[in-house]
Amino acid sequence: MTTFKLPELPYANNALEPVISSRTIEFHYGKHHQTYVNNLNNLIIGTSFENATLDELVTKAEGGMYNNAAQVWNHTFYWESLCPQHKTQPSGAILQAINEQFGSFDTFKEKFSAAAATLFGSGWAWLVKNGTKLEIIQESNAGNPMRKGFKPLLTIDVWEHAYYLDFQNRRPDYIKDFWTIVNWDMVNKRFV
């Protein structure tokens, strides 16, 4: 039987400060993410998904099993999308694709930020690859773009637990600061 584990963060708990505090990491990663892992491990016992990979669970499971699997996957992807090294914009193939698809990096940032800011309730804004085309999509709750056949490249978590301790109800401020901690090297790797 598969047993999922909370993956190690690729940086120290305080590495993303001041955008994401160690206190937020403690709750968001240490408690919320861990709870999704624990729930998923309990939910797969005795089912046809006991030996499934996380990707298989995200693309095939339903209900609570899907919700917890997707949240484990989404959060792991989110943490890997961030880094303490501040690059103001991407380079290489992903920058070229963004410029071709959206006209400019600034236009892309505006559209992605708007998708994150206007998502009602809880969920995720994503930059995805749909064939050869880039798209910005919104997913509510545990929504994951792999279910639609898209390849995820970048995400921002806009559930309140992602930003409330640091920004309270100011989601737009969190989104603005998010751009200073994006791991563009990882996004570029995912793109090619």
Instruction: Give the per-residue pLDDT at 38.
Output: 98
Q: What is the 3-state secondary structure (H, E, C) of 84-95?
A: CCCCCCCCHHHH
| Domains of the chain in sequence order | 22-80 (1.10.287.990), 92-191 (3.55.40.20)
10 Å CB burial of residue 87 (0-12, 13-18, 19+) is: middle
129 token code pair: 């690859």
Instruction: Give the per-residue pLDDT at 94.
Output: 96
Q: Say if CB 21 and CB 166 are below 8 A apart.
A: yes
Give the integer Cα–Cα distance in Å for 192 and 189.
6
Secondary structure (3-state) at 182: strand
Question: What does DSSP say about strands 133-140 and 123-130: parallel, antiparallel, or unpaired?
Answer: antiparallel
Give the integer Cα–Cα distance in Å for 189 and 176.
23
Secondary structure (3-state) at 63: helix
Do you know the residue count of the chain?
192
Q: Check residue 161 and report its DSSP letter.
A: G
Q: List the chain pLDDT tens, one digit each, 192 residues.
A: 899 999 999 999 999 999 999 999 999 999 999 999 999 999 999 999 999 999 999 999 999 999 999 999 999 999 999 999 877 899 999 999 999 999 999 999 999 999 999 999 999 999 999 999 999 999 999 999 999 999 999 999 999 999 999 999 999 999 999 999 999 999 999 998
Q: Say if CB 129 and CB 149 are below 8 A apart.
A: no
pLDDT in tens, 41-64: 999 999 999 999 999 999 999 999
